Amino acid sequence: MTFDLTPEQDQLRDAVRALGRRYGHGYFVEKAKAGEHTSELWTEAGRLGYLGVNIPTEYGGGGGGITELAIVCEELAAAGCPLLLLVVSPAIAATVITRHGTEEQHKRHLPGLADGSAKIVFAITEPEAGSNFHRLGTVARRDGDDWVLNGRKCYISGVDEAGHVLVVARTEDSSTGKLKPALFLVPTDAAGLTRSKLDMEIVSPENQFLLYLDDVRVPADALLGESLDAGLPALFAGLNPERITVAAMGAGTGRYAIERASEYTATRKVWGGRSIGSHQGVSHPLAHAAVQVELARLMIQKAATLYDAGRDLEAGVAGNMAKYAAGEAAALAVDTAVQALGGAGMTTEYGVATLLGAVRAGRIAPVSREMILNFVAQHVLGQEKSY
């Protein structure tokens, strides 16, 4: 067992950290409040190869794994720039396309994802289905060589920034008549695809949308993979990378908040010569949050290592646990940091309250803490399913 990163991973971490710090949380918040995107940071990260670390080298990527992508997510978040689209585009879309796309889809989509010039977002959630993906109502039906998609999706991140959206729909299996999932690469400017922006209480330069698919016609090669049979495995392929990278983003955000608070409490003096951090009522909650974040980081490392070793089932358990732990730790860390800063904690200037919405959402999305507990109860503890 080793807890050390390789020298290359160490270098990657240092380089991403330096890049993130050059932009910083002030930049992130300024963009969010202006209704703009963090395009400069994204473009630079892409040019430096950080967005494609997990994409095979033959398509312009770094040839690494989810361990490397988790490092990128964590370090940018630790610098105050938690970019959700890292989870959606390089983690979910690039993994799904690499593992289950056709050679033509590899060539068309992976180079752009690797250098950051293209973004592909992911649409599974639906208003009526919610956490119950078995109830998905978006349907794709064959019409000649084309597919025609109809349905509604909600909370879809980054549609305004992306060239394509990877839509999870259902198709009719001609042999059984049953509906089964399939993934489609739909251009965001396709006729019949419309969107409306959701007002979210999250300070973020990335937006969520309601998507309406009304007779959206796409050619046969928009279907991800060689055949309809690719659908289910492709859907599952995205889950572990999603959980591991979103956990890494949470851990990075937790580190950021604790660092801001520790700097403040070590120097702020309101009772004579002693810092407020000398009072254990202030320092212990911060220390407790630091322990929770560090425990989550260990689980993330385990999950990423298992995933990169091809041990998908074990990575599934570890990835879910990592996501749960990091989601809770990030929420605790940011809330504790706000408290430790007192009134300053609620100002934009000190840059911690600006993360409250994001870490709260991290306990709901992309998979809620309750659905992870259901998973652990059933698959680890052998409990009966209640739903």
Site residues (CB under 6 A) for ligand FAD? 88, 121-125, 130-131, 155-157, 202, 208, 361, 364-368, 370-371, 374, 387
Q: Minimal distance in Å, beta carbon 96 to ligand FAD?
A: 13
Q: Which is nearer to ligand FAD, 183 or 261 (CB)?
A: 183
Q: Minimal distance in Å, beta carbon 174 to ligand FAD?
A: 27
10 Å Cβ neighbour count for 192?
A: 15
The rounded Cα 271 to chain-centroid distance in angstroms is 43
Residue in the shown chain whose Cβ atom is closest to ligand FAD: 130
What the block records as the tokens of 58 is 């033959």
| DSSP-derived secondary structure letter, 384 | P
Q: Which is nearer to ligand FAD, 179 or 365 (CB)?
A: 365
CA torsion through residues 271, 275, 276, 281, sign: negative
Nearest to 253 by CA among 376, 75, 374: 75
Contact 191, 148 (CB under 8 A): no
3-state SS of the chain: helix, strand, coil percent to 5?
Answer: 55, 15, 30
Nearest to 94 by CA among 133, 58, 53, 125: 53
Contact 127, 152 (CB under 8 A): yes
Q: Minimal distance in Å, beta carbon 83 to ligand FAD?
A: 13
Q: Which is nearer to ligand FAD, 62 or 254 (CB)?
A: 254
Q: Minimal distance in Å, beta carbon 181 to ligand FAD?
A: 13
Query: Phi first, then psi: what are they for 117, rounded to 5°?
Result: -75, -20
Q: Minimal distance in Å, beta carbon 2 to ligand FAD?
A: 34
Pairing of strands 208-218, 146-157: antiparallel
Q: Minimal distance in Å, beta carbon 314 to ligand FAD?
A: 23
Q: Which is nearer to ligand FAD, 105 or 157 (CB)?
A: 157
Q: Which is nearer to ligand FAD, 143 or 160 (CB)?
A: 160
Q: Minimal distance in Å, beta carbon 271 to ligand FAD?
A: 40
Q: Which is nearer to ligand FAD, 234 or 290 (CB)?
A: 234
Residue located via tokens 């046969």: 220
Apex CA 72: angle with CA 105 and CA 75, to 5°? 160
Q: Minimal distance in Å, beta carbon 125 to ligand FAD?
A: 3
Angle between helices 66-78 and 280-308 (to 10 degrees): 160
Residue located via tokens 């706000």: 338
Q: Which is nearer to ligand FAD, 142 or 363 (CB)?
A: 363
Strand partners, 150: 139
Q: Which is nearer to ligand FAD, 19 or 353 (CB)?
A: 353
Nearest to 119 by CA among 149, 151, 86: 86
Q: Minimal distance in Å, beta carbon 7 to ligand FAD?
A: 35
**E runs forming strands in 251-350:** none
Q: Which is nearer to ligand FAD, 42 or 59 (CB)?
A: 42
Amino acid at 272: G
